Amino acid sequence: MASVTFNNQKAIFFRSIQAKVEKYFEEKKLKKTGNSRLYIKTIILLTAAAAMYVVLLTVSLQPAIAIVICCLFGVVQAGIGFNVMHDANHGSFSARKWVNSTMSLSANVMGVNSWFWKQKHNIIHHTYTNVDGVDDDIVKPPFLRMCTSQKHLPLHRFQYLYCVPLYGFTSLMWIFISDFAKYFQQKIQSTQMRKMVPKEHVIFWISKALYFFFFIALPIYMVGVIPFLIGYFVVHFILGITLSLVFQLAHVVEATHFVDANDQALKIEDEWAVHQVRTTADFATNNKIISWFTGGLNYQVEHHLFPHISHVHYPVIHGIVKEECKNYSVRFNSYPSMTSALMSHFRFLKQLGIQ
Q: What are the average pLDDT values for consecutive 10-residue runs of the chain, which has 355 residues?
A: 80 94 96 96 98 97 97 98 97 96 97 94 93 84 90 95 96 95 86 89 97 98 97 98 96 95 81 96 97 97 97 97 96 97 98 91
DSSP H helical ranges for the chain: 12-28, 36-58, 63-80, 86-89, 97-104, 106-109, 114-117, 126-127, 159-167, 170-173, 179-185, 198-212, 218-223, 225-251, 272-278, 288-293, 300-305, 314-327, 338-354
DSSP H helical ranges for 213-337: 218-223, 225-251, 272-278, 288-293, 300-305, 314-327
What confidence score (pLDDT) does residue 23 get? Answer: 97
- Who contacts 254 (Cβ-Cβ below 8 Å, separation ≥6)? 344, 347, 348, 351
- Half-sphere exposure at residue 255, Cβ-oriented, CA atoms within 13 angstroms: 24
Distance CA 240, CA 86 (A): 16
